[in-house]
Amino acid sequence: MKRLAILWTGLFGLAMASPAQELGNFFNDPFVQVTAAMAECPAPQSPSVTGEQVREQAHVRAQHGGSCYRAGRCRLPNSYLYDQEIIPRVGIYIQQDGRFNDTSVWVLGERRIVTLMGCVQSREQAQALERAVGLVDDVMVVIDNLMVGTRGTVPYPVAGRKNR
């Protein structure tokens, strides 16, 4: 009888683990669209992880987040704390600049690193956007995942598409 109970418990545990885990932005990484002039631009997938991935990444994020404070490069005790104020300022800066009104751009903040995704009119415009965002206070690095035009190879995971 005891073996049957152990077998039942094991099978019940497997059944409970089998449904697909819900995806979400559980780390609350800011992700916003700041311009929307190119309607055909592929929308990037928002930052999302499963509950299991949260557990797997939590330690690494804690280590990375606190390392800049321990090294004296951050005034806040965790570099992720900057993101909620950086990304809105990046959005305002891009919108008020005027040079990027003909683009479709999304921004993602993670550890004072700003990732630009979306579509621009030219490679020169992408470089200008990257330089401009780098001037925003507290931005440490800017990653350019922008594409010229709306067709071709998309350099970021696309919303609604199964990405590898």
C-alpha dist (Å) from residue 11 to 3, 5, 18, 20, 22? 12, 10, 11, 17, 22
User: Which among 27, 80, 21, 34 has a CA at the least distance from the CA of 54?
Assistant: 27
CATH number assigned to the domain comprising residue 35? 3.40.1520
Contact 77, 66 (CB under 8 A): yes
pLDDT along the chain (164 residues), means of 10: 37 40 85 98 92 86 85 88 95 97 97 97 98 96 98 94 60
In a domain, 20, yes or no: no
Number of separate domains in the chain: 1
User: Which among 113, 111, 107 has a CA at the least distance from the CA of 90?
Assistant: 107
**Quick one: pLDDT at residue 14?**
34
* 108: helix, strand or coil: strand
pTM recorded for the entire structure? 0.82
**Quick one: pLDDT at residue 161?**
75
Q: Look up the domain containing 144 and give its range.
A: 28-47+79-148
| Tokens 């921004």 sit on residue | 107
